[in-house]
Each structure stands twice: as C-alpha cells, then as structure tokens.
Amino acid sequence: MNDQTKFKALVVREQAEGFQQKIEERCLADLPPGDVLIRVQFSSLNYKDALSASGNRGVTKKYPHTPGIDAAGVVAFSTVPQFSAGDEVICMCYDLGMNTPGGFGEYIRVPASWVLSKPEQLSLLETMQIGTAGFTAAQCVDKLLAFGLRPEQGPVLVTGATGGVGSLAVALLAKLGFAVTAVTGKESEHDFLQQLGCTAVLNRQQATGRVSAALLRERWAGVVDTVGGEILAGAIKATRYGGIVTCCGNAASGDLALTVYPFILRGVSLVGIDSAECPLTRRKEIWDKLAGTWHPLLQDVLVKLSQQITLEQLSQTVDAMLAGQTRGRIVVDLREKA
Ligand SMILES: NC(=O)c1ccc[n+]([C@@H]2O[C@H](COP(=O)([O-])OP(=O)(O)OC[C@H]3O[C@@H](n4cnc5c(N)ncnc54)[C@H](OP(=O)(O)O)[C@@H]3O)[C@@H](O)[C@H]2O)c1
C-alpha cells in the first residue's frame, strides 16, 4: 500500500446543473494528512450526510467532497502508539464527513483524537446500526435518566419518531419501561413504531397543538425532540410540571417560538444535545452503556430498525431521506466484495 493505492468513494461535485454525486476512484494521496488511516467497512447515513451530499454549505463549505460523518473499520496504518494496524475502530463526527473526507469512501485518514477503539461487545456492523443518530438518541435518553425521570412519572414523547434518532430513542425508552408516544408524519409506519415498542402515535398536527397557546394540557413527563419548530414548541408547552425536554435536531425547523411560561410556571427543563463536538470521555461513557447494560435491550431492535445499502445505492437513498421517505437507520456496507 502506498499513496497511489486506489479506492472507491462517493464524491459530490458542484456542476452547472447543481450538485452531483458519483462513485469515483480516489487514491490515498487525496486524503488529508492524519495519524490513523482506516479501511472503512461500514458507514451510515445521517441527516447531516444528506445535507452535505446535496450541497448544503452550512455543513460542507468546499466541494468536491466525500460525506459520511460515521465510519467503522480496521486500522490500515497508524503513526501513534494507541492504535496499530488491524485494530477495529470507530470514528464519528468532529469534522469527519463535513470538511474532511468521510465514511462514504473506503478509506479515511483522521487525527487519533477522533478515533475510538470499537467496544468489544459490539460488532462493527452494530456500531454503525447505532451510528451518530443512535449515539445521539442514547445521549438524550441518558439525560432523561440522569435527570431522574422514571417510567411511573408518565409518558415520554419522541418526535421525528421513524427517523434514525427517533426510532432508536423510541426503542430504547420502551425497553427501559417507559410508555412512549411517537410523533410521525408517516401514516404507513404506525406498525413499525408499535413493533419498536411505542404505546401511542400522534400525527404532527396533533403534537403541535394550538400554536397561539402559551401552555397546553400537561401530558409529557419527558420529551426527545429531533425536529424543532412548532412540534418542539408544542411538546414543551405540554410538558408536565418539573418535566424535561431534550432538543437535538431541526429536521422541521431551527425556529422555536415560545413564551417563558412553561419554564417559569411549570419548571420545565430544556436540555440541548450535541454529538459533533461531544468530548471523548462522554463519548466513552455513552458507548459503554450501548455496549454494556443497554446492549441486550437493543440487539434485536437494531436489526429491526436498520437496513443495509451499498455505496452505489447511496445517491437515491440521500434523495429519499431529504424527501422524508426513509425510516430507521441506514448502514452503508463498504466491505470488499467476495
Ligand atoms: N445534535 C446532534 O449532535 C445531532 C446528531 C444527530 C442528528 N441530529 C439532528 O437530528 C435530526 C434527526 O436526524 P436523523 O439522522 O434521525 O434524521 P432522519 O433519519 O432523516 O429523521 C428525521 C425525521 O424527522 C421527521 N421529519 C422530517 N421532516 C419533518 C418536518 N418537516 N416536520 C416534522 N418532522 C419531520 C421524519 O420523521 P417522521 O416521518 O416519523 O415524522 C424524519 O424521519 C436532524 O435534524 C439531525 O440534524 C443532531
């Protein structure tokens, strides 16, 4: 292997007719310098990847570019003692797939500080069935638990419930014994959500409630919101006295129109969740839970809520995700074909 070693990657280029995605042959010399060269076996498709693949400059400033904020694979070469050739590792977020060539290529080269050893109890495939979306769902659930939320306190609302973050949050909360109400825009996916363990399903309008109201009837002991906008506002207004709302996404909107009343009359807590710059110690804590006590709860569910695609199928799946037509987690298989 040398700098001219070739590999396949999805490359997004800006053309006169807009942004185009194509599988291209790249060579290792095209990758930035870095401590660890990783042969990617699996990646996954997150909402941020769909934005990067479609030319969103808020995510990716410079094109041509290879998206993919998630990667799991095997170290091919390392300049640091923490990692050796053959180690199974995962690399998620930081700048991967944003302005650093990401997991939609067969190789990535990254700083050692972005790399985590794969937890022993998880397979590489499972780490990407979880991926950034699942890790984010786990962070949200962990915040609810650390806050002291218990199943007997009442139902938990999950918005964007058929999405990557939402579906994993539904499944994990249900397995932990919570009554979960799912919000979805997809009438056809109510069965899927019930299979994941939710006890009730609302459509988006029902979850929003009366937009002009400052407060709504108290319903939720906790909320995992992945969409923002009017649905998040509705969820906060309907959160019970002393309840907690985690906010991690903006699939619907980045806006949040509210009064202070849910906070000053009901003592509701709004907690922000970020995975991109999440410190390494916190990452390890969450992965320890995902690989430890939560693993037996999630093992079957991960299979139910994920599907595998190839690099060649990515482009059409990106379009489907942007059109709101995907569900659950989408793993990209970059292993060498037999
Ligand atoms: N803070 C972080 O570090 C972090 C990490 C990961 C993800 N995120 C964010 O979390 C959000 C979800 O990510 P994901 O990977 O789960 O994406 P995803 O798989 O595309 O899921 C998003 C879901 O949101 C719902 N949705 C889409 N458009 C909507 C609209 N206009 N109004 C209401 N609901 C809508 C859909 O669910 P239904 O059809 O079931 O309603 C969709 O499946 C994204 O905004 C992403 O950027 C943030």
The count of other CB atoms within 10 Å of the CB of residue 2 is 7
Transcribe 172-185 into DSSP letters.
Answer: HHHHTT--EEEE-S
Mean pLDDT of the chain: 97
Question: Percent of the chain, pLDDT > 70?
Answer: 100
Instruction: Give the three-class secondary structure for 87.
Output: coil
Residue 172 pLDDT > 90: yes
Q: Is pLDDT of 338 > 80?
A: no
Provide the pLDDT for residue 288. Answer: 97
Contact 234 CB / ligand 1 (< 6 Å): no
Nearest to 62 by CA among 94, 101, 21, 88: 101
Q: Which atom of ligand 1 is nearest to the CA of 275?
A: 3
Distance CA 329, CA 133 (A): 8
Q: How confident is the model at residue 337 (pLDDT cuts 50, 70, 90)?
A: confident
- Please give the average per-residue pLDDT across 255-259, as a whole number: 97
User: Which domains does the chain carry?
Assistant: 6-118 (3.90.180.10), 132-272 (3.40.50.720)
Least confident of 1-5, 67-71, 150-154, 244-248: 1-5
**Is the CB of 232 inside a 6 Å radius of any atom of ligand 1?**
no
Nearest ligand 1 atom to alpha carbon 93:
3
Pocket test for ligand 1, best of 190, 227, 325 (most atoms within 8 A of CB): 227
pLDDT tens for each residue of 84-135? 999 999 999 899 999 999 999 999 999 999 999 999 999 999 999 999 999 9
Q: pTM score, two decimals?
A: 0.96
User: What local confidence, expressed as pLDDT, does residue 176 receive?
Assistant: 98
Mean pLDDT of 200-218: 97
Among 60, 95, 142, 165, which is best to mutate for testing ligand 1, by the most ligand atoms less than 8 A from CB? 165
The length of the chain, given as a count of residues: 338
Atom 19 of ligand 1, residue of closest alpha carbon: 163
Query: Rounded to the nearest 10 degrees, what angle do helices 295-305 and 124-147 cross at?
Result: 120
Ligand 1 center from residue 267 Cα (angstroms): 27
Confidence class for position 234, pLDDT limits 50, 70, 90: very high
| pLDDT tens digit sequence for 52-71 | 999 999 999 999 999 999 99
* Distance (Å) from CA 333 to ligand 1 centroid: 22
